[in-house]
Structure 1
Amino acid sequence: MKQVDFYFDFISPYTYLAVMKMDKFVTEHDVQVNWIPVNLPKLIKLSGNTPPANIKNKALYSLRDLKRWAEYLNVPFKMIRPSTFDSRPAMYIAWALAGDERVEFCKAVFEAVWSGDVDMRTEHWLDDIFVQKKLPQAWRHTPHDQAKQELDATTQQALKAGAFGVPTFILHDTPRPKMFFGVDRMDFLSRACL
């Protein structure tokens, strides 16, 4: 079975859109998708990239583009500035979970954040997600020190794989892995998986 490493951070609206396409992608291809959390601001800095919000014209374009994508995928979307909330507490939980539990948790967070179901400006936004999505409270107990170190390690792993942002997909089907960046490259990833 082919392996796809999927690098993500909850602060990325484009990754939310990719997540909304993920079930169909997995159903259509015989692949194992490994959901790997990374610290996006750190990855951007380490790679020498610039956040879209720091470039006025790119930020304006991205807002229109995100709305078009949400309409195209027929998914709810509410734009929030990624810099207005700290995704790390949720990322630590994502790291601590594995397999189907990680996928379930991550989908719930992405949907709640980017559909507007949760107000990210509140102090208890993560608690609200646990209640709304009926997630197991046991998942809340995460060793943050270890999770922080592991998140740093997966961020370095993504950088080493060539990532400079998210969503990034690394397809392991040949001795030399292939990288695909962005929700708009998932079609190319799909073709490569055939």
Structure 2
Amino acid sequence: MKHITFYLDFVSPYAWLAFERLPEVLEGLSHSVEYRPVLLGALLQQHGNPGPAGIVPKRAWTYRHAVWLGHSIGVPLAMPARHPFNPLPLLRQALACSEDGRINRFVTGTVFRHVWQGGHEALDAQRLTELAAALEPQRKPGDDDGARAKALLRSNTEAAAARGVFGVPAFEVDGKVFWGYDSLPMLRACLEGDCWFERDWDAAASVAQGLPG
């Protein structure tokens, strides 16, 4: 059985699409998946990457592309009323349901649907209260001040960066990191034992840098 770590931030539409598609993509394979929330903004900042929202034409394209992808694969996706937004309240609500940085698929899907279905404000106070109520049965005791959830988010993000994760969605298996929704077929090929990964995984990335440092 192969083990997959799925790094995600609820602010990413592509992470939502990948979450919905993953069971179908991995159908028939012996695997397990753990879901680990990370702070995308911190990963982007580490590499000096403004993200799609930091480049005006790219922002518009990203939203069109994500919504079209949802339409094309039959996954409901409506842009929230404001985007990007600060995902910290959502990440911490999710991690209030964890003792070790992992969250289950129910928690992950509940928070994703809060953001990506209906076109509402992701951080609307009443909706956050309703989300907390929906997650309450999953909440772990002993973190009334939220300190544990904050520490878990920091730990997850730092560990992800140390593993080479630079964005979300990202999937790690056997020390290899796959980035983006469009990496799902590549992930499956790796899990199926495609010989390319032994032959060309390292070689493909070893090309010399052609620009001055």
The interval holding the TM-score normalised by the smaller chain is 0.7 to 0.9
The aligned residue for residue 13 of structure 2 is 13
* Bigger mean CA offset, 183-192 vs 71-80: 71-80
TM (norm. structure 1) is 0.85
8 A contact 2:168–2:179 mirrored in 1: yes
The aligned residue for residue 69 of structure 2 is 69
The aligned residue for residue 182 of structure 1 is 180
Bigger helix share: 1
The aligned residue for residue 60 of structure 2 is 60
CA distance in 1, matches of 2:184, 2:28: 12
Gaps of 5+ in 2: 193-213
8 A contact 1:130–1:137 mirrored in 2: no
1:129 partner amino acid? L
2:42 partner amino acid? K
The aligned residue for residue 147 of structure 2 is 145
Gaps of 5+ in 1: none
CA distance in 1, matches of 2:12, 2:118: 14
Q: How many residues align?
A: 187
TM (norm. structure 2) is 0.78
CA distance in 2, matches of 1:111, 1:54: 25
- Check 1:182–1:33 CA distance in 2 against 1; reply closer, same or farther (3 A cut): same
Misfit runs of 4+, over 6 Å: none
Q: Note the C-alpha offset of 1:82.
A: 3.4
The aligned residue for residue 38 of structure 2 is 38
- Check 1:129–1:93 CA distance in 2 against 1; reply closer, same or farther (3 A cut): closer
- Check 1:97–1:128 CA distance in 2 against 1; reply closer, same or farther (3 A cut): closer
- Check 1:180–1:20 CA distance in 2 against 1; reply closer, same or farther (3 A cut): same
